[in-house]
Chains A and B, each alone.
Chain A
Amino acid sequence: MALLEMHGVAKRYRRGGEEVAALRGVDLTVEAGELVALVGPSGSGKSTLLQLAGGLDLPDEGRVVVAGRDVTSLSVAERARERRRRVGFVFQFFHLLPALTVAENVELPLLLDRRRDRGPRVRELLDRMGIAHRARHLPSELSGGEMQRAAIARALVAEPELLLADEPTGNLDSATGADVLDLLTAAVRDAGTALVMVTHDEAAAARAGRVLHLRDGRLVAADGNGAADGAGDGDGDGAGDGDGDGRAPVSTHATAGAATTAAGPVRDGAGS
Chain B
Amino acid sequence: MRTLRLLAWRPLRRRPLRAVLAIIAVAAGTAMAVSVFVVRTSVARSVADFGAELSGPTELRVVGAVRRGGLGPEVVDRVAAADGVAGAVPVVQAVASLDGLEEHTWVDPGGRTVTYRDGWRRVLVLGVDCSIEALVGDHGCPEDGVTDRGDVPFAVGRGVPDGSRLQTNHGMVTLRNRPVYEGFDGLGDGAFVVYPLPSAQRLFDRGDGVDVVYVQPEDGVDVGELRTRLDELVGEHNAVLDADQGPPEVELALGSALPVFSLLGLFGLGIGGLLVHNTVTLSLEERRRELAVVGALGGTRRVVAWTALGEAGVLGAFGGLLGAAGGLLVAGPIVDTMSNFTEDVAAMPVTLHAGVGAPVLGALLGVVVALGAAVLPARRALRLSVVDELSGRGRFEERPTARHLRRVAGFGTVVLAGVAMVVAATRGGGLATWQPPVGALGFVVMAVGLLLVAAALAPVVLAPVGRLVEGSAAGRLAVANLLRAPGRTAVMVVALTGAVATAFVAAGFSRSIERSLTRSILSNMEGVSVSAAGEGANANLDVALPPEVVDALRAMPEVDEVHEGAVVLAGAGRDEVISVSAFGDPWVLKDRHAVVAGEIDPARFAAGEVVINTLLARDQDLRPGDELRLPTPSGMVEVPVMAVIHSGGPTGREATLSLDRHRELYGPQPLRAVNLHPVPGVSYDELAVAAVAAVANDPAAARFVQEGPDRIYLHVSTPDQVLAEARGTVRTTMLPFWTLQRGLLGVAFVAILSTLLLVGVQRQREMGMLAAAGMTPPRLAQMVLTEAGLVAVAGAVLGALGGLVTLWAMIEVAPLVIGYANDFHPDGWEAVRAGNGALWVALLAGLWPAYRAATTEVVPALRYE
Q: Does A associate with B in a complex?
A: yes
Which residues of A approach B to under 8 Å, CB–CB?
13, 47, 51, 54, 56-57, 76-77, 80-85, 87, 89, 91, 93, 95, 97-100, 104, 108-109, 111-113, 154, 158, 272
Known: A95-B293, A98-B14. A111 touches B300 (CB 8 A): no
B296 contacts A89, C-beta separation under 8 Å = yes
A112 contacts B303, C-beta separation under 8 Å = yes
Segment 1-40 of B: residues with Cβ below 8 Å from A = 2-3, 6-7, 10-11, 13-14
A97 contacts B296, C-beta separation under 8 Å = no
B298 contacts A97, C-beta separation under 8 Å = no
Chain B interface residue count, CB cutoff 8 Å, equals: 28
Residues of B within 8 A of A98 (CB): 14, 290
A154 contacts B865, C-beta separation under 8 Å = no
A91 contacts B390, C-beta separation under 8 Å = yes
Residues of B within 8 A of A80 (CB): 295, 298-301
B298 contacts A85, C-beta separation under 8 Å = yes
Known: A93-B865, A104-B6, A112-B303. A47 touches B297 (CB 8 A): no
Residues of A within 8 A of B294 (CB): 97, 108, 112
Residues of B within 8 A of A89 (CB): 296-297
Give Cα A158–Cα B298 distance, bound, in whole angstroms. Answer: 11
Q: How does the 8 Å CB contact mask read for B286-313 relative to A, with 1 for contact and 0 for none? A: 0001100111111111110000000000
A77 contacts B300, C-beta separation under 8 Å = yes
Specify the chain A residue showing the minimal Cβ separation from B385.
A57
Known: A99-B10, A99-B11. A112 touches B298 (CB 8 A): yes
Known: A47-B391, A51-B387, A97-B293. A84 touches B298 (CB 8 A): yes
Residues of B within 8 A of A81 (CB): 298, 300
Residues of B within 8 A of A93 (CB): 865
Known: A54-B296, A85-B298, A154-B297. A95 touches B6 (CB 8 A): no
* Distance to closest chain A CB from B278 (angstroms): 20
A56 contacts B13, C-beta separation under 8 Å = no
A108 contacts B295, C-beta separation under 8 Å = no
Give Cα A121–Cα B294 distance, bound, in whole angstroms. Answer: 19
* Distance to closest chain B CB from A22 (angstroms): 10
Q: Is the interface of B mostly helix, strand, loop or mixed?
A: helix
In the A-B complex, list the 3 residue pairs whose CB atoms are closest, starting with the nearest.
Answer: A84-B298, A99-B11, A83-B298
Residue in B290, B302, B393 whose CB lies within 8 Å of A97: B290
* Distance to closest chain B CB from A216 (angstroms): 18
Specify the chain A residue showing the minimal Cβ separation from B865.
A93
Of A84, A104, A108, A158, most B-chain CB atoms within 10 Å: A108
Residues of A within 8 A of B386 (CB): 56-57
B298 contacts A57, C-beta separation under 8 Å = no
B387 contacts A111, C-beta separation under 8 Å = no
Of A84, A98, A99, most B-chain CB atoms within 10 Å: A99
Give 22 A-B contacts (CB < 8 Å), ordered by A residue. A54-B296, A56-B295, A56-B390, A57-B386, A57-B387, A76-B301, A80-B295, A81-B298, A83-B297, A85-B298, A95-B289, A97-B290, A97-B294, A99-B13, A99-B14, A100-B6, A100-B10, A104-B6, A108-B297, A112-B298, A112-B300, A113-B298
A95 contacts B301, C-beta separation under 8 Å = no
Residues of A within 8 A of B302 (CB): 77
Residues of A within 8 A of B10 (CB): 99-100
Residues of B within 8 A of A13 (CB): 393
A111 contacts B3, C-beta separation under 8 Å = yes
Give Cα A47–Cα B6 distance, bound, in whole angstroms. Answer: 29
Specify the chain B residue showing the minimal Cβ separation from A104.
B6
* Distance to closest chain B CB from A267 (angstroms): 16
Give Cα A155–Cα B865 distance, bound, in whole angstroms. Answer: 21
* Distance to closest chain A CB from B761 (angstroms): 12
Residues of A within 8 A of B3 (CB): 111-112
Residues of A within 8 A of B296 (CB): 54, 56, 83, 89, 95
* Distance to closest chain A CB from B757 (angstroms): 16
Residues of B within 8 A of A57 (CB): 385-387
Give Cα A96–Cα B1 distance, bound, in whole angstroms. Answer: 20
Of A56, A84, A100, most B-chain CB atoms within 10 Å: A56
Specify the chain B residue showing the minimal Cβ separation from A85.
B298
Specify the chain B residue showing the minimal Cβ separation from A158.
B298
Residues of A within 8 A of B11 (CB): 99
Specify the chain B residue showing the minimal Cβ separation from A88.
B297
Residues of A within 8 A of B390 (CB): 51, 56, 91, 95
Specify the chain B residue showing the minimal Cβ separation from A151.
B293
Residues of A within 8 A of B303 (CB): 112
Specify the chain B residue showing the minimal Cβ separation from A51.
B387
Residues of B within 8 A of A158 (CB): 298
A112 contacts B865, C-beta separation under 8 Å = no
Residues of B within 8 A of A47 (CB): 391
Give Cα A158–Cα B299 distance, bound, in whole angstroms. Answer: 13
Give Cα A33–Cα B289 distance, bound, in whole angstroms. Answer: 30
Residues of A within 8 A of B391 (CB): 47, 51, 272
B299 contacts A112, C-beta separation under 8 Å = yes
Give Cα A158–Cα B297 distance, bound, in whole angstroms. Answer: 10
Residues of B within 8 A of A154 (CB): 297
Residues of A within 8 A of B7 (CB): 97
* Distance to closest chain A CB from B400 (angstroms): 11
A109 contacts B298, C-beta separation under 8 Å = yes
A108 contacts B6, C-beta separation under 8 Å = yes
Segment 377-393 of B: residues with Cβ below 8 Å from A = 385-387, 390-391, 393
A109 contacts B387, C-beta separation under 8 Å = no
Residues of B within 8 A of A91 (CB): 293, 390
* Distance to closest chain A CB from B850 (angstroms): 25
Give Cα A115–Cα B764 distance, bound, in whole angstroms. Answer: 39
Specify the chain A residue showing the minimal Cβ separation from B293.
A95
Residues of A within 8 A of B385 (CB): 57
* Distance to closest chain A CB from B384 (angstroms): 12
Task: Kindly list 7 other residue pairs between chains A and B, CB separation below 8 angstroms, not including A97-B293, A100-B10, A112-B3.
Answer: A54-B296, A56-B296, A56-B390, A81-B298, A93-B865, A108-B6, A154-B297
* Distance to closest chain A CB from B78 (angstroms): 78
Residues of B within 8 A of A104 (CB): 6
Give Cα A7–Cα B13 distance, bound, in whole angstroms. Answer: 46
Residues of A within 8 A of B387 (CB): 51, 56-57
Give Cα A86–Cα B290 distance, bound, in whole angstroms. Answer: 21
Residues of A within 8 A of B299 (CB): 80, 84, 112
* Distance to closest chain B CB from A225 (angstroms): 29
* Distance to closest chain B CB from A158 (angstroms): 8
Segment 641-697 of B: residues with Cβ below 8 Å from A = none
* Distance to closest chain A CB from B391 (angstroms): 6
Known: A95-B390, A100-B10, A111-B6. A77 touches B301 (CB 8 A): yes
Residues of A within 8 A of B2 (CB): 111
Residues of A within 8 A of B289 (CB): 95
* Distance to closest chain B CB from A217 (angstroms): 15
Residues of A within 8 A of B865 (CB): 93
Give Cα A111–Cα B293 distance, bound, in whole angstroms. Answer: 14
* Distance to closest chain A CB from B863 (angstroms): 10
Give Cα A81–Cα B298 distance, bound, in whole angstroms. Answer: 6
Give Cα A104–Cα B387 distance, bound, in whole angstroms. Answer: 23
* Distance to closest chain B CB from A170 (angstroms): 11
Give Cα A84–Cα B303 distance, bound, in whole angstroms. Answer: 13
Give Cα A205–Cα B14 distance, bound, in whole angstroms. Answer: 39
Give Cα A76–Cα B298 distance, bound, in whole angstroms. Answer: 10
* Distance to closest chain A CB from B864 (angstroms): 10
Specify the chain A residue showing the minimal Cβ separation from B15.
A99
Give Cα A154–Cα B290 distance, bound, in whole angstroms. Answer: 14
* Distance to closest chain B CB from A17 (angstroms): 11
Give Cα A122–Cα B290 distance, bound, in whole angstroms. Answer: 21
Residues of A within 8 A of B6 (CB): 97, 99-100, 104, 108, 111
Give Cα A47–Cα B302 distance, bound, in whole angstroms. Answer: 26
Q: How does the 8 Å CB contact mask read for B363-405 relative to A, with 1 for contact and 0 for none? A: 0000000000000000000000111001101000000000000
* Distance to closest chain B CB from A137 (angstroms): 14
Specify the chain B residue showing the minimal Cβ separation from A13.
B393
Give Cα A190–Cα B53 distance, bound, in whole angstroms. Answer: 85
Give Cα A13–Cα B621 distance, bound, in whole angstroms. Answer: 67
Residues of B within 8 A of A272 (CB): 391
